[in-house]
A and B are shown apart, each in its own frame.
Chain A
Amino acid sequence: MLEIEIDGKKLTVPGGSTVMDAANSVGVHIPHFCYHKKLSIAANCRMCLVQVEKAPKPLPACATPVTDGMKVYTHSDMAVKAQKGVMEFLLINHPLDCPICDQGGECQLQDLAVGYGQSSSRYEEEKRVVPNKNLGPLISTDMTRCIHCSRCVRFTEEIAGYQELGMPGRGEHTEVMSFIGKTVNSEISGNVIDLCPVGALTSKPFRYSARTWELSRRKSVSPHDGLGANLVVQVKDHRVKRVLPLENEAINECWLADRDRFSYEALNSEERLTKPLIKQGGVWQEADWQSALEYVANGLKDIVDAHGAGSIAGVATEHATVEELYLLKQLFAGLGSHNVETRLRAADHGLKTAGATWLGQSIVDVATAEAVLVIGSTLRKEQPLLAQRLRQGVKKGLKLSVVNPHADDLLTALAGQVVVRPDQLVEGVLAVVKAVVDAKGVAAPAQIDLSGVEADDAARAIAASFADKEKTAIVLGNVAQQNPRYAELYAAAAALAELTGAKLGVLGAAANSVGAQLVGATGAGNVFAEPKKAYVLLNTEVEFDVGDSLQALRAVQGAAMVVALSSFGSCALEHADVILPVSPFSETSGTFVNMEGKAQSFNGVVRPLGETRPAWKVFRVLGNLLGLENFNFNSSEEVRDIALAGDLAAKLSNALAAPVAVKAQAASGVVRLGEVPIYQADLLTRRAPSLQATVDGAAPQLKANAATLARLGLSIGGQALVKQGQGDAQLAVELDNGLADDVVRVPANHPLTRALGAFVGPVDVTQA
C-alpha cells in the first residue's frame, strides 16, 4: 500500500494503481476522454494532465503509476492550464455545431468544454473533414467529430475480441475506420456508441429521433439471454426510444449485447396488436376484452368437459415473466391439466434434476474460475456478454475449453477443443471423462460406461487444464440443451464435474429459463407430439419458438381451439381462433430469474399500447371467469411473492434426481446441426429491423466442411436442397471447415428453414 495525497486529501492505495484510480477512489474527478476503466490505457487524449509534485511538467493521470509519498494536484493552476490547453487543441478540428449533433446533451466533449474551453476559438484556418464510414445498420458515423481517443478501437480488440476498427493514417490524416468495405459485425458492437465520448459514433436506429433531455430513464431487465442484463430504457411520449446499459458489475458490467440494446425497435412495430380479435367464420373480428375472455374461458371449459383435462396444453417461451408463467400454470392446474411447457426447443425432456437447473454459481464466479469447460454452445451468439466475460477471464489465466459440434471462434485462446458430430456430443464429453480417469488413475463413476471410448489429444488437453485446479466449472449451452441426448449429455457432464471437482452449470437459454422451472411451468414434455384439442400460446410463435416447428405447426393447425396471447399480430393470425393482445416486457411489471438464480423484478416502462393488457392480468381474469380459487391478485408483486415463495437458493439444484446410464454409441450418415440464429431467438429480435439487417441477421446458409461438400456434390456459393421429414428448404452453400465430416449446419427457426424438423437428425442434402 502506498500513501499519497491528492488535492490535499491523504489516502492509501494499492501498489500499481494509477493516479486516475487513486483519484476515483476518493471521488476526485479528473477530466478525461480516452481513459475507460474496462479498457487498456492509451493516454492519447491528454485531457487528464495533472500536476505532480517534483515532476517538471504535467503528467497524464490515467498512465502515471502512483509512487509512495506522491502529491498530486488535479486542479492547480498548472493542471488547469494544461487541461485548458489540451481542450483548445481538441476543439481545433472538432466542429463547434453541437445543436445539430446527435450527441448534444450527452457529450463528454461538450460537457468538458464548458469547464475547460474558451468562449471563442482562436483558430481561423480550415478544419479537417473526414468522410463518414458505413459500419453497418447499428452504428451511425460522423467521423469529422472524432477526437481519436481510440476507445472504440480498443473495445473491438480487447472486449469484443477481434479488432474490427483501426486508426489508419498518420497525424492529422488519422481516421477511425473498419477495413475497407467491412462493417462492424460483433454481437456486442453497440457498446462503442456508449464509449464514444463525442458524436462520432451514434446509434443508427435512434439517430435524430429524440434529445437526451427529453427522455425519461427507467430501469428494466433484458428479456433475451439468461444473463439478465440490466437496462436503462429511455422513453418519450409513452414510446421506448432507446435502450442503454444500467451498470451492474455482477451481471452485465457496463455493457449490453446488441440484441439487448436494439430489440426495442420491435416494441414500436407496426405488427403490434391493440385489440382482442376473434375469428368468426374464418374472418377476424375485433372484440372487446370481456367477450374475448368469456369466449376463451367457455371454449377451454367446453373442451375440458368434452375431452378431459389432458386435451389442452399451455405453451410459453422462457422469455415470459415469472408472474405470467406461474398464473398460466395455475390456470391449467385449475382446469386439471399439467400440460404447461416452456422448454420448447428441447428434443429430450428426459432429464430430471433435484431442483431448477442453473449456472451452479454466480456469473462472476464462472468468469473468475481457473478452468471452464463449455459443452455444446455457440457461446458468442447464445450469451454474448458471458462470452465476453470469459474472454477477459482468459487474459487473467482462465483455461477455457470447449466440446462442441463446431469450431466457431470464441475470439480468445482455448486450452482444449473437442469437435464432434452433433449426435456425438455425449461421446465428446466421454472422451474427456476417459482422459481424466486415465490421468487420475481412478475408476469411472457408476452408470458411465467408458467401453470403446478413446481419449485423443484434445480431450487430454481439456483434462490437463482441469488438473490441480480448485475453482473450475463445466457449463452446458443451448446446443447441448437442445440435443436429442441431453439427459445422457448432462449425466456425462455431471460425471466429469464429479471427477474434476468442477461446478456443473446450465447456461439459461432465455431471460427466465430458471424462473420457468421454479414456478413449475415445465415438465409436460413435447406437447405437440400428441396433438391436443386446445392450445393456449403465450407470446409463442410455433414456427420459430419450437424445436420441431413443423410438428408443432401441424398440431396447432389441427386443434379445435387455439388461444394466442400475443404482442404481435403475425404470430398466430393463421392458426389461432382468438388473439388476446398482451404486453411485452416493456409494458408490464414482472420478474426474470437469471442463470445465476437471481430474481430481478422490473416495472413497466411505458403504458400498455392501445387495449393491450399485461398477460398476468389476463390470466387472473381468466382464472376468475373460470371460477378458480386463489386468483385474486391485486398486483404482480403479490403473484411473484407466491410464485417465488421460500428460499430460492434451496430450489436450485443441478444434482441428478436419478442416475442416468451413459454409453458411447456409434453414429454415421449425414446429420444436421441446427441452431437458432442469434436474432431469431425470440419474438422481439425477430421484429427488430436493424438487427435483421446485420450480418448475423442475414439469410441462413448451409455449411459443411470441404470433404462433406464434395461428397454431397455441393459447391460453395451454389444452392442446396435440404430435406428433413416432410419438409424441405433451399439454402446457399458455404464452407465451414470447423465442422466434423458428414455434418451439415442448417440454422433452425428461421423463415427459410421452418419447414424442417429436428435440430439434430438425419437429413438429405442434394444440389438444388
Chain B
Amino acid sequence: MLTPESLAQIDRELTKYPADQRRSATMSALRIAQVEHRWLSNELIEFVANYIGIPPVAAYEVATFYNMFDRKPVGRHKLTVCTNLPCALSGGADAGKYLQQKLGIGYGETTADGRFTLMEGECMGACGYAPVMLVNNHSMCNHMTPEAIDKKLAELE
C-alpha cells in the first residue's frame, strides 16, 4: 500500500527506537503514510500497524487521537486556518471567512474539484505572525491577508 520510499522512511523512524519498542514509531509511520495517501483509511492504518508489528487497534488509537490525522478523504491541499483567540483577534477569523467565500465551502468541506479542503485549526504557536494558515499539515504560512491568501491559492495546483 505504500511506496518503497515511504517504507524506507518508516524504516528510518523505526531505527530511532529500541527493537522491542517499535510501537514508538507509530505516529511517525502514520504521518508518512498520510503524506503519501493524503488520508488514513482503515486499511492503511491496518497496513501500517502490521508493518510496524503492533495490533491494528493500537495504531487506530493513535490515528483517532490526533486531529492532524485525516480519516476521511481530503482535497489535494488541506488548508488549516487558526481561529484560536490571538489569531482570531488579529484577522484569523476574517482570513477564514475570506477563504470560505473564495472557495465556496465551509470548514471541514472540500471543493467540488477536489482541490482544497478547509479546516479550522487550533493554536499553532505562531500568534505573532497571525493570521496563520497551515498547508497540508507541513507548511505554515504567515500574515495571511486576503492578498497573501490569493497569492498562496494561485500557487497551489
Contacts and interface: CB of A to CB of B under 8 A. Distances in A.
A178 B64 CA distance: 13
A162 to B, nearest CB: 6
Nearest to B60: A168
A452 interface: no
Contacts of B58: 163, 166
A439 B75 CA distance: 63
Nearest to B63: A168
Contact of B64 (A164, A165, A168, A182): A168
B65 A166 contact: no
A163 B57 contact: yes
Contacts of B64: 168-170
Contacts of B55: 157, 162-164, 166, 179
B56 A169 contact: no
B137 interface: no
Given A162-B55, A179-B55, A179-B56, A167 B61 contact: yes
Contacts of A164: 55, 57
Contacts of B61: 166-168
Given A177-B57, A179-B56, A180-B60, A168 B65 contact: yes
A446 to B, nearest CB: 43
A157 B58 CA distance: 10
Given A162-B55, A168-B57, A180 B42 contact: yes
B70 interface: no
B49 to A, nearest CB: 8
B43 to A, nearest CB: 9
Given A162-B55, A163-B55, A164-B55, A179 B60 contact: yes
Contacts of B56: 179, 182
B13 interface: no
B22 to A, nearest CB: 13
Interface string B51-71: 000111110110111000000
Nearest to A168: B64
Interface in A153-167: 157, 162-167
Contacts of B60: 166, 168, 179-180
A398 to B, nearest CB: 16
B120 interface: no
B65 A165 contact: no
B46 interface: yes
A169 B57 contact: no
A180 to B, nearest CB: 5
A115 B68 CA distance: 43
A442 B97 CA distance: 84
B57 A170 contact: no
B57 A179 contact: yes
A718 to B, nearest CB: 24
A164 B57 CA distance: 7
Interface in A127-182: 157, 162-170, 177-180, 182
A70 B99 CA distance: 60
A379 B136 CA distance: 49
Interface string B18-52: 00000000000000000000000010001000000
Contacts of B65: 168-170
A189 to B, nearest CB: 14
Most buried by A among B56, B57, B64, B65: B57
A167 B60 CA distance: 9
Contacts of B54: 163
B107 to A, nearest CB: 18
Interface in A175-193: 177-180, 182
Contacts of A182: 56-57
A169 B63 CA distance: 8
Contacts of A169: 64-65
Contacts of A178: 57
Nearest to B20: A413
B70 to A, nearest CB: 15
Contacts of B46: 179
Nearest to B54: A163
A179 B62 CA distance: 12
Contacts of B57: 163-166, 168, 177-179, 182
Interface in B48-106: 54-58, 60-61, 63-65
29 contacts: A157-B55, A162-B55, A163-B54, A163-B57, A163-B58, A164-B55, A164-B57, A166-B55, A166-B58, A166-B60, A166-B61, A167-B61, A168-B60, A168-B61, A168-B63, A168-B64, A169-B64, A169-B65, A170-B64, A170-B65, A177-B57, A179-B46, A179-B55, A179-B56, A179-B57, A179-B60, A180-B42, A182-B56, A182-B57
Given A168-B57, A179-B42, A182-B56, 4 more contacts: A163-B55, A166-B55, A179-B46, A179-B57
Interface of B: 42, 46, 54-58, 60-61, 63-65
The 9 closest A-B pairs by CB, nearest first: A166-B57, A168-B64, A179-B56, A163-B55, A179-B57, A166-B61, A180-B42, A168-B61, A170-B65
